[in-house]
Amino acid sequence: MRDVLVTLIVFGWLPLVFKKPYMGALMWVWISVMNPHTQGWGFATTFPFAAIIGGVTIICLAFSKEEKSFPITPVTGVFIFFVLWMNVTSFFAIYPDEIYDQWNKVMKIMLMTFVVFMLIKTKKHIQLLIWTIVISLAYYGVKGGIFTIVGGGVHMVLGPQGTFIGGNNEIALALIMTIPLMHYLQTISPSIWVRHGLTAAMLLCALAALGSYSRGALLALAAMGAFLWLKSRHKVRIGMLLILAIPPAIAFMPEQWSERMDSINSYEEDGSVQGRFNAWWMAYNLAKERPLTGGGFEVITPELFYLYAPHPTDLHAAHSIYFQALGEHGFVGLGLYLLLGLLTWRTGSWIIRNTKNLEEYRWASNLATMIQVSLIGFATGGAFLSLLYFDVPYYLMGVMVATRFLVAKELKQKGSSVSDKKGADSTGQFGQISPAQPQPQPIARDSG
């Protein structure tokens, strides 16, 4: 039944893509983030939904008469260089015959990220994309939160198998990233029932993250909560909510959960943590020998661990977005990735700074703030997970770019309009501008 439902949704949605190509971008995000076909047990689990959606969207984009320019900014420029550099490191990969599957998977993600950049342009598009990401991940958060409550937190919450978020650590980080986006949707939702529903979903997602037994997720949640409090206009309200919500949630979890979290303080004796350190040293030593290109995709092999790891027999994935970038793409790749994050952050800061005290753009300021909060969670939790190619952060990067483009364009138009009216007033052709009318602020210039 689930297989049939997913199939009906996809093929029922496809005709809309021919009229509105951005619907294809939204459907791609839904299918790639939620992976709804993995929730079935029949033909849908292996049916090429993503390939069909991606192909139709690209064809419609090519033949559409709508504007389809790619936004050129420092963020997108570095993103292009990062993708190109991944191809360079693939050419010089240590195991060129074994990287095709991973290269193919990553390049598909990056290609469709470019497509999303080209199709998501208006306020409506931006908000629909946020809704799509939230619904895709909140499904697992609500289900996982209920599972944690019913089971008393004894059993571990996992994500859909065979996806980026299949493991307990990965689904926990994805859910933590979703919580600030839910809060943003609360600020733009006129319905009180939707706002209450989002509050319930946020609490269940937090419980599901705790129920994953992920120590990295706990650190990410703490970092994100602290930053959210600092950025909030309602520090007392947010502080009281955190105080009232977090201690009961932690107290609810069983003793085995507390023992797992307490092991953070005794990481020297934890085999999992020491395995991560071993993988990080391997990536660093590999990059020192190949500083420009790293090893390319697929560097977790016994041969490379024998050459570069302190403990050659202890094979582990990088378990860090930073060391994954370093080991696979060298110091250049890591530098590009860090620069991409920095410029995305500065783009959000530009939006917040230029929309300050402009009620009309409160939505943009809140969105940029909540994406920054979400990225704090990803940057913290990602330090312990191999999620370099997880697509959600790249979609949020696209949202930042699209929002800045939209805000800058409208503020420029308003500034030109005011200038024209002032010039007309001096010739007596138009009426006076009301002193009560809010004036657009000058657009701050920076490289972000």
| Segment 367-394, tens digit of pLDDT | 999 999 999 999 999 998 889 999 999 9
Q: Which amino acid is at 255?
A: E
Predicted local distance difference test score (pLDDT) of residue 141 = 94
- Count the neighbouring beta carbons within 10 Å of the beta carbon of residue 41: 10
| Intra-chain end-to-end CA distance of the chain, in Å | 48
Neighbouring residues of 146: CB distance < 8 A, sequence distance ≥ 6: 204
Q: Which of 333, 322, 265 is nearest to 294 (CA)?
A: 333
Tell me if 279 sits within 8 A of 326, measured CB to CB. no
Dmax (CA) of the chain: 84
Tell me if 365 sits within 8 A of 395, measured CB to CB. no
Tell me if 35 sits within 8 A of 163, measured CB to CB. yes
Whether the per-residue pLDDT at 268 is higher than 80: the answer is: no
- How would you class 141 by CB atoms within 10 Å of its CB: exposed for 0-12, middle for 13-18, buried for 19 or more? buried
Sign of CA dihedral 203, 175, 188, 35: negative
Predicted local distance difference test score (pLDDT) of residue 53 = 92
Length in residues, the chain: 448
Tell me if 399 sits within 8 A of 120, measured CB to CB. yes
Token pair of 376, please?
């704090």
Neighbouring residues of 46: CB distance < 8 A, sequence distance ≥ 6: none
Predicted local distance difference test score (pLDDT) of residue 270 = 58
Distance in angstroms (rounded) separating the CA atoms of residues 165 and 139: 13
Token pair of 67, please?
């504007």
Tell me if 140 sits within 8 A of 171, measured CB to CB. yes
H/E run at residue 371: helix 362-381
Distance in angstroms (rounded) separating the CA atoms of residues 93 and 108: 19
What average pLDDT does the chain have? 86
Predicted local distance difference test score (pLDDT) of residue 437 = 44
- Count the neighbouring beta carbons within 10 Å of the beta carbon of residue 276: 22
Span 123-139, mean pLDDT?
Answer: 96
- pLDDT confidence of 228, banded at 50, 70, 90? confident
Region of poorest pLDDT, from 31-45, 48-62, 96-110, 278-292: 31-45
Tell me if 400 sits within 8 A of 75, measured CB to CB. yes
Distance in angstroms (rounded) separating the CA atoms of residues 354 and 361: 9
Tell me if 174 sits within 8 A of 120, measured CB to CB. no
Candidate ranges 80-89, 417-426, 430-439; pick with highest mean pLDDT: 80-89
* Helices 100-119 & 22-33 angle (0-180, nearest 10): 140
Token pair of 79, please?
């993103």
Tell me if 368 sits within 8 A of 408, measured CB to CB. no
Predicted local distance difference test score (pLDDT) of residue 448 = 43
- How do residues 270-326 score in pLDDT, each as one tens digit? 567 788 889 999 999 999 999 999 999 999 999 999 999 999 988 888 889 999 999
Q: Which of 260, 265, 163 is nearest to 214 (CA)?
A: 260
Q: Which of 54, 71, 73 is nearest to 111 (CA)?
A: 54
Distance in angstroms (rounded) separating the CA atoms of residues 286 and 330: 8
